[in-house]
Structure 1
Amino acid sequence: MDSYMDYTSPTVQFTYDLRDNVLFQKDAQNSINELSIQQLNTLANVSLLDIRLSTANVVEPHYHQNATELVYCISGAVTVSLINPFTLELRHFPITPGQVANVPQGWWHYLVATMDNTHLLTIFNAPTPEFILGSDILRLTPSNILAHTYCLNENKIQEALAPIKKPVIIGPPNDCKQQPPRKPGIHVRLADTSPHPQVAPQRGYAHTNGYPGFSFNPYQE
């Protein structure tokens, strides 16, 4: 695409401030800024998202139909989870500053922050990253189709999905009424299918979220 760029034109762009293009902001600690060819016309076939997350916040399950995604951790810690469509395995890849995880084009995946002040760059091999969100699939597929296809109770599906009225992007929503277990001694212990060891608790995996005895672990099957 850049082969057709007139680099002598007064409209040619070489710099951009990502803070000027907020894709989504949940709150002061959880936001996504986007940079694509729409903002910087010399980018050609590359784009990126600048993501900030606090503990236990999730970039919701989704896939990119037009690009591979390379996740680079700048600060904090995050677990990149994906489904391998060839092996039908759910894999979890915890990364910390300086480490990357790669999500091939079209693969279902999600990102869970396991430390506060997590800062990520996700880089795409496309001029603009396109995506299909899990929240859109759930809220736009008719409940009777879900019930009939998977032999489920339609009323229960409607009740469960009723709160999803718009794209979530970074979850859980601020108005979420669910609370983690409050009973002391309860821990969420879930299996990691990644060959990499889990990050030690002092790096954020045992964040209590203010609930004594509750440990958040992103490795949820």
Structure 2
Amino acid sequence: MSVSYMDYTSPSVQFSFDLNNNLFFKKDNRNYINGLSIHQLNTLGNVSLLDIYLSTGNVIEPHIHQNASELVYCISGAAVVSLINPFTKELLHFPIQPGQVASVPQGWWHYEIASADNTHLLAIFDAPIPEFIGASDLLRLTPANVFAHTYCLNEAKVKDALAPITKTVVIGPPSDCMSDQVQSQAAANPANTNQTYYNRAYGYPQLQHDAYWQQQPVIGNGWGYYHNGL
């Protein structure tokens, strides 16, 4: 228990909560996240969770939880949990379907991509409030000249490529993102635009790494969300 001094006779003690009352982030009506932490349920102890809803091709942006391990459970639909093993330097992909889980060790770089519509995931953490560092924050807050100097890149191109990232992404790409490839696919087959990047061989969308996205605003999460802590 993270709160061993809890007074279970207090009138303020909480034993139940409706996650529908705590929207953590919303991109649209098919892609959103509800959250539960000790801010909503003070008897939780060292556990918290995110209730995640995604449609095909939507991504929980690459990120780390520096203070928590994560267990991703698939309730419906399908997704691929991808992570980098920092010891072997391997990028690993774990497709999950209903009833299946994928484990992400504390501090490991990872992301989740929906490979089916109506995907519902439960992300469970061994911390009362899991901290969060997203790739969008690292990219937008690190000066372009630092990237250019460190990796011998063209600073102007780096700055131009990263300029559209103005906020934390959380779920990408945003609704108004249309790369050249998506537009071509949409013209050829409008009914299948949302599956443009779906790669059936690997079970996850192939994202355009030269297109960075503006995000929709975080909506009243109640998690005490901040850029180095969820």
Could you give the per-residue CA deviations for residues 20-41 of structure 1, whole angstroms, max 9, x where no partner exists?
Answer: 1111000000001110011100
Deviation, 1:211, is 4.6
Partner Cα separation in structure 2 for residue 214 and residue 20 of structure 1: 33
Partner Cα separation in structure 1 for residue 162 and residue 115 of structure 2: 26
Deviation, 1:220, is 5.0
Q: Which amino acid aligns with 1:166?
A: K
Deviation, 1:177, is 2.5
Query: Are residue 216 (structure 1) and residue 198 (structure 2) matched?
Result: yes
1:180 match: 182
Distance 1:168 1:213, change over 3 A: closer
Query: Are residue 50 (structure 1) and residue 51 (structure 2) matched?
Result: yes
1:63 match: 64
Q: TM-score, normalised by structure 1?
A: 0.85
Distance 1:90 1:209, change over 3 A: farther
1:23 match: 24
Deviation, 1:176, is 1.1
Structure 2: gaps (5+ residues):
208-230
Q: Which amino acid aligns with 1:98?
A: G
2:35 match: 34
Deviation, 1:209, is 6.3
1:91 match: 92
Distance 1:170 1:215, change over 3 A: closer
Distance 1:125 1:148, change over 3 A: same
Q: CA RMSD in A?
A: 2.2
Partner Cα separation in structure 2 for residue 215 and residue 159 of structure 1: 24
Q: Which has the higher contact order (CA 8 A, sep 6+)?
A: 2
Partner Cα separation in structure 1 for residue 194 and residue 106 of structure 2: 40
Question: Residue 94 of structure 1: SS of its match in structure 2?
Answer: strand
Could you give the per-residue CA deviations for residues 2-22 of structure 1, whole angstroms, max 9, x where no partner exists?
Answer: 321100000000000111111
Shifted more, 168-177 versus 42-51: the winner is: 168-177
Structure 1: gaps (5+ residues):
185-207
Q: TM-score, normalised by structure 2?
A: 0.81
1:117 match: 118
1:136 match: 137
**1:92 and 1:219 in contact (8 A); partners too:** no
Question: Residue 123 of structure 2: SS of its match in structure 1?
Answer: strand
| Aligned residue pair count | 199
